[in-house]
Homo-oligomer: A and B are copies of this chain.
Amino acid sequence: MSVQEDMLRCAKAAQQASRVMATLSSKIKNELLVKMAEGLTNAQRELQQENAVDLQRAQENGLTEAMIDRLRLTPERITAMADGLREVAALPDPVGEVTGMWLRPNGIRVGRQRIPLGVIGIIYESRPNVTADAAGLCLKSGNAVILRGGSEALYSNRAIGKILQQSLEDMNLPSEALQVITTSDRQAVTELLKLEEQIDLIIPRGGEGLIRFVAENSRIPVIKHYKGVCHTYVDRGADLAMAEQICMNAKVQRPGVCNAMETLLVHRDIAADFLPRITQLMIAAGVELRGCERARALCPEMLPASEEDWFAEYLDLILAVRVVDSYEQARDHIQRYGSLHTEVIVTNDYRCSQQFLREINSSVVMVNASSRFSDGNQLGLGAEIGISTTKLHSFGPMGLEDLTTRKFVVLGEGQVRA
């Protein structure tokens, strides 16, 4: 069977299975996820054996220690995967909710009801825990899922998939509701991305290269997130002690993630007070600062920032710093250089806070809080399947509800159109 035929067969089976999954009660779906969690815990030895093959291959292929560490399944990480599934089981089920129902003048009642999307394809890089996390969220929301992880984690992903599928079979549910693509042939992804009749959504998770490849080759809608160039704007009306705490947290608490601050904008009226203080703290925390000319005039420790620095997602202990004349200049900077991810204003000026909330249309806008809260768990979505920085369907951190859509339901008593 060719890769093309193989992917089509896989997607058709997923579509069939999705019709069964769509009608399951929350009770059954929750039981399934708990059973999957137990399956992972019970198979710890088997999982570690398969993982050892991936680790061995990774070493032979000369992967970096950081990459090998991401690949490793320790007992703690297996427990964390299982706990993740139990947490998703405990979340409210979005499917079936009627989000509104109204009466038309002719007596028909019209409502909108949440339904699963159908079949979701997840294309991801080497962390094997994504296999269980993404599967849990997709199944809980009544979807079927096709998982294609990085070839480095092939043995681990296959083993996790087998255990999760066993739980489906044990409950007499179609095992095709969860399929792990185990061919290392890269053409498998290209073929999957063409199957718009069978697959309803593709979510790529990984580096910008992977995401661009998927976005450019997919006929299926893609929810994507290229990068997070998050700004913090410290207004002249800010509490500077609060601004310090928020900026330090946003930059150094975990610099390698997409909701870390990359650019600090400071109002000129407070720059002479604030910049030297924050500069000392940042430097003490190991942060390299790259400032505009006015910032450097106040803090000569900063390196000069170039135009590319304003666009940069460093994902590292580096921060671009710019002094602005006004709120408006901060806004224009964010609109020009931002990535629509997360922007923060630190201010005590009510009018300015409202203007920021109204005028900045990034996926998350915050007043007086650290950008590090821009995450599905922190915002209260319960779990996160990804972050969207494009506006269609979902914008910002995505939870279970984002894996559903709504259909119209019409209840009549024989009405016809005049």
Contacts and interface: CB of A to CB of B under 8 A. Distances in A.
Interface in A38-78: none
A23 B370 contact: no
Interface string A101-118: 010100010100101111
Interface in A246-290: 246, 248-250, 253
B110 A379 contact: yes
B219 A414 contact: no
A416 B379 contact: no
A365 B407 contact: yes
A1 to B, nearest CB: 23
A303 interface: no
Contacts of A414: 239, 242, 245-246, 368-369
A395 B407 contact: yes
A23 B358 contact: yes
B379 A405 contact: no
Contacts of A253: 416-417
Contact of A373 (B239, B380, B417): B417
A153 interface: no
A386 interface: no
Contacts of A406: 395-396
Given A22-B359, A364-B407, A391-B405, 15 more contacts: A104-B380, A110-B380, A115-B361, A117-B391, A215-B219, A245-B416, A248-B416, A253-B416, A363-B408, A369-B410, A369-B411, A373-B410, A392-B393, A392-B405, A396-B407
A415 B369 contact: yes
A214 B414 CA distance: 38
A394 B405 CA distance: 7
A396 B370 contact: no
A366 interface: yes
Interface in A364-418: 364-370, 372-374, 378-380, 390-397, 405-417
Contacts of A374: 408, 410
Contact of A415 (B359, B373, B409): B373
A95 B96 CA distance: 26
A201 interface: yes
- Chain B CB within 10 Å — which of A22, A374, A378 has the most? A378
Nearest 7 A/B pairs, CB to CB:
A369-B412, A249-B416, A366-B410, A372-B417, A242-B414, A221-B392, A393-B393
Contacts of A392: 117, 200-201, 221, 392-393, 405
A216 interface: yes
Contacts of A415: 368-370, 373
Interface string A18-33: 0100110000000000
Given A19-B335, A216-B219, A373-B108, A408 B417 contact: no
B410 A367 contact: yes
A357 interface: yes
A373 B412 CA distance: 10
A397 B102 CA distance: 16
Contacts of A117: 391-392
